[in-house]
Structure 1
C-alpha cells in the first residue's frame, strides 16, 4: 500500500465561508498555521458562489448557518449543480448545530467532511489530510466520470483499487455509477449483491434496488427499498426510491406516506417537499399539498432549485381550501395567497413565461373568491405577457394553464397553448392522455400520434445505421410538427452521422445548420439545451472543413 503523501497546504487555494468574523479569523489562523497562503474569506453564500465562479478552490470550509443568505447546504447544492468545483476540491461543512434535521439536510449532498464546533487546528488538519489524500487518489476516476467517460472511469477504478485497497468501497461505489450509466445491469447487480452479502452497506443495497427498478422488476425493488428504509432509516435516498417505485406501480397514497417519513427527518429538502406536494395533489389531500408547497416556498428562498411551480401550486392549493369551506380562516388564506403571488412576480419578474403563468393563476384564484374585477385585470395581463413569451412552456405548465383558461372561458387561448404543447411533447404518453381530456380539436391528438410513429421509425433506422432512411422519416415527422425540438435535433444528429460516414455533401451540413437555426425558443434550463449546444458545436466544426 502506498504511503500517504504529505499535504502541501502552501500550494492549496482555500475559501472560508463564515458569517461570524471572530470564528472566520480563527479558521484563517488554523489554515495559516498549516502553511496555507492563498486564503479567501467571504461572509455569505452568495459571495461564496461568486468566488467559486472566479476561482477554482482546493479547499472550501463553510459554516452551515450563514444568517439570512444561502446556508451551507444550499451553497453546496448550487456549486454541484453548476459544476463549480474541481474533481479534487474538498468541501468541509462546519456548524455549531447538531439537530437531526440540520445534520440530515447537510449530509444529503455529501460534503467531504463534517465538523461540529468547537474544534482545534489539529482536528481540522487531520480531517483535511484524509479528505485531500482520498480525493487526490480518486481524481483520475472522478475526472472521467465528470466527463461521462464511463468505460475509462471503470478502468481507473480497477487501477486505484489495486494500488489503494483501503479505497475499495469508494471505487466500487463509483463503479456502480458507471455500470448503471452504461446500462450493464447484470454486472451492476453482481457487484452490489456481492457487497451486500459481505456487509449490508446502504449505497450497495440502494444499488440492488436501482438495478431491479431499471429492469422493471418493481415488486422486488419495493421489497429491497422497504428493507433499506427499515434497516437504515436515516439514509433518505431509500425513501425517494421507494416512493418513486410505488408511484410507478400506481400506489400514490403509499408514496405519500413514504415521502412524509423522509421529510420528518430532513424537512429542508426542497425537491422532496415539491414531490410530496405533487403526490398529495394526486391523492386529493389538500392540507398536505398546501403544507408541502408552503415549506417548498419557505426553503426555496435562497435555493438554486426554487422555481415558479411551488408558488403557483401553493396558491392553487389555497384556492382549493377556500372553495366551499367555511371553517377556514378565509382572510388569512387570502392574504397568504396575495403574498405568494407578489413574491412570485417579484422573484421571476424578467421571465415573461412565468409572468403569464402567474397572471392566469391569479385570474383563476380571483374567480374562486368571486372577484370579477381582478379576474378581468389578470386576464388582460395574461394576454399581454403571452405575446412576449420567447421560450417553450413546459408540458405540465401547459396543462395547468389550459385547464385554468378553459375554466375562465378563454377557450381560444387555451386551445392555442395546448396545441403548441402537443407539438412539443407528443412523445410523452402521460401528457397526451391528459391533453385528450382538454382539447376540442379532434385532429390534434391523431396528428401528434402520427408524428410520434414517424419519429420512432426514424430512430429505429438510425439505430440500424440507415441514416438516409432515418432522415426521410424525420422529415415527414417535421412536416406535422415543424417546431418540435426533439425531432429537429434527431434530424441534425442523423445528418451529421451521414456526413461522418462518408456522404461528404456540403448540402447535408447546410441542412443541419438550417434545422438548428429554426430552434429559437429553447431555454438554457431546458434539459434539451445541452444536446442542442453540442450538436451546434459539432456542426460548426464540420462546416469549417468545407
Structure 2
C-alpha cells in the first residue's frame, strides 16, 4: 500500500474546479502535501524549488501558454524531476497529434478525464510498484553514473530473472553513455534476435549511423518500420541515414510520413523544412517551417534559425514575382520576432537585415540597399564568429544583393575558421572557385594532422610546434586552436608552465568567439575550466 502521507504531489491544470477536485481525491487517500499550479510556467518554477514525487499535469492549458508536452520537455532536459518521480499526463482529449507528441517524451502514464478516486489510486499504486522495484537503477541515473546503472541492472536480474526485461533499456543506455559501442551493438542485436522491440531498433539504428555503417542502418530501419509503422522516432532515424547517404529527396518523404503521425514535434518540423528547402520544394518548406514557428513559441526548442528558414522559404517560394500580402506579413512578423528577441546577437541582426533586403530587392530597391549597408556595417564590427551555415547563407545573400566583394570576404573568413571540415569546404566551393579561398588551408590541415599524430604518440613538444604552424597559417581556425590549447594544458597534478598556460588561454579566448551551437563548444568549455580554474 502506497504511503500517501509521505508523498509530495503537484497538480497542474488551468481550471480551478479540477484542481480542487483532484486535491480532494488525494486528501481522501491520505495525501498531506499537495500543491497546485494553473500554468506550466508556474509548475516549472515550483519544480525548481521543490522535489515532487508525483506531477499530474493537464496537456492543454489554453492558447498562448506552455502545454503539458512543453513542461515535460523542460523537466526532462533541465533535470528538474527525479527518475524516481512520476509524471502523469492528464487530458480530456485523445487526438493522435496530442498523444503521439507527448508519447515521444515518455510520461509515466496517461490519465483521461474524467476519473474517480478509485481509478486514480489504482494507477498510482501500479506506477509506484514499478518505480520501487527499479529504485537502485533510478537513483544511479539521478547521480549520472552509468557504471552504477549497469551494476544495479545486474543485481536486480540476479535477484529474479523475471526482472531482466525491465533492465534491458537501462543497460543499453548505460553502455551508450560509457561509449562501449562494440558491447552495445552486440547487446542490441541479441535483444532484437530474441524479440523485435521498437526502442532496441531505434538504439541500434542510431548507433550504426553514429559508426557510419549507413547501409546496415538503412536495412535495419526498413525492417523496423515494417514492424512498427506508427513510431515517428524510427522515421527520424531513417531520415538521418538517408541524409548521410545523400538521398535527401527520400529523406524528406520519410519525415513527411513522420509529421503526419506526430505533427506537434518542433524539431521534426524544422528539419523537414530545412530538407525541403535544400530540395527546392519551397511549398513544403514554408509549410513545415510555418508549423515549427507556431508550435515553437512556448517550447524550449524555439530557435531563431527556424524563423530565418521560414523567411527564406517564403522568399524562395515567391521567386521573382515578389511576396504576396500574406507572405509579406508572415515574413515581417517572423523576422521582427528574431530582431526583437535577439537584439544583442549581432550575427542574427545581420542576417535578419539581409533577409529583409532580399525580400525587398524587387519591390523597394532603395530600402533593400539601405538594409544591406546596415548589415555590412554590423558584419564588419562583429567580434563573434558566424556558424558555418550562417556564413554560407550570408555570403550567398550578399552576392545576390550585388555585394560580391563582401560575399567573398565572408567565404574567406568561413574557410579560415572551418576549413578543416570538408563538408564546409565543399559548400564554399559551390559558391566560389577562387583558389585563394579554396586552397589556402591545405598546408595548415596537413600540419594539424601531423600534430594530432604526434600528440597521440606522446610527443607534446613536437605536437605544439606543428599546431602553432597550422594556426599561424589559419589564425582563426577553431580546431587548430583547440588542439594547440589542449597540447599546452598541464597534465593533472603537474606544475603549470606559466608561458604555455598563457598561450593556452589566448587560444581559448579566440575559440570563445564560436557560436555555442558548435559541436566543439562543450570541449572548449571543459578546457576553459582547466585553463582558468576556479
TM superposition score normalised by structure 1: 0.89
Structure 1 window deviating more from structure 2 (444-453 vs 221-230): it is 444-453
- Partner of residue 40, structure 1: 35
State whether structure 2 residue 195 is matched by structure 1 residue 196. no
- Partner of residue 531, structure 1: 523
Distance 1:343 1:127 in 2: 43
State whether structure 2 residue 68 is matched by structure 1 residue 94. no
Q: Which secondary structure does the structure 2 equivalent of 1:447 belong to? A: coil
Structure 1 spans left out of the alignment, 5+ residues: 1-5
State whether structure 2 residue 468 is matched by structure 1 residue 472. no
Distance 2:118 2:531 in 1: 55
Cα deviation code 1:345-399 (max 9, x no counterpart) = 23333433212211111111111x3311220232233235435645321111111
- Partner of residue 232, structure 2: 236
Structure 1 window deviating more from structure 2 (522-531 vs 16-25): it is 522-531
State whether structure 2 residue 342 is matched by structure 1 residue 351. no
Distance 1:421 1:138 in 2: 50
- Partner of residue 71, structure 2: 75
- Partner of residue 53, structure 1: 48
**Counterpart mapping for 1:55-454 below 5 A:** 55-67=50-62, 68-142=64-138, 144=140, 149-163=145-159, 165-324=161-320, 330-367=324-361, 369-386=362-379, 389-439=382-432, 441-454=434-447
Shift of residue 527, structure 1, vs aligned partner: 4.2
Cα deviation code 1:421-449 (max 9, x no counterpart) = 32332232211111123346533332333
Cα deviation code 1:291-345 (max 9, x no counterpart) = 111111111111111112221122212112222469xx82332233223223332
Structure 1 window deviating more from structure 2 (279-288 vs 266-275): it is 279-288
Distance 1:417 1:346 in 2: 25
TM superposition score normalised by structure 2: 0.91
Which residue of 487, 492, 505 maps to 1:500?
A: 492
Structure 1 window deviating more from structure 2 (23-32 vs 106-115): it is 23-32
Shift of residue 47, structure 1, vs aligned partner: 2.0
Structure 1 window deviating more from structure 2 (352-361 vs 36-45): it is 36-45
Contact 1:499–1:508, Cα closer than 8 Å, also in 2: no
Distance 1:188 1:334, change over 3 A: same
Contact 1:499–1:505, Cα closer than 8 Å, also in 2: no
Distance 1:484 1:36 in 2: 59
Q: Which secondary structure does the structure 2 equivalent of 1:16 belong to? A: strand
Q: Which secondary structure does the structure 1 equivalent of 2:56 belong to? A: strand
Distance 1:349 1:517, change over 3 A: closer
Q: Which secondary structure does the structure 2 equivalent of 1:499 belong to? A: coil
Q: How many residues align?
A: 533
Shift of residue 525, structure 1, vs aligned partner: 5.1
Structure 1 window deviating more from structure 2 (306-315 vs 133-142): it is 133-142
Contact 2:346–2:379, Cα closer than 8 Å, also in 1: yes
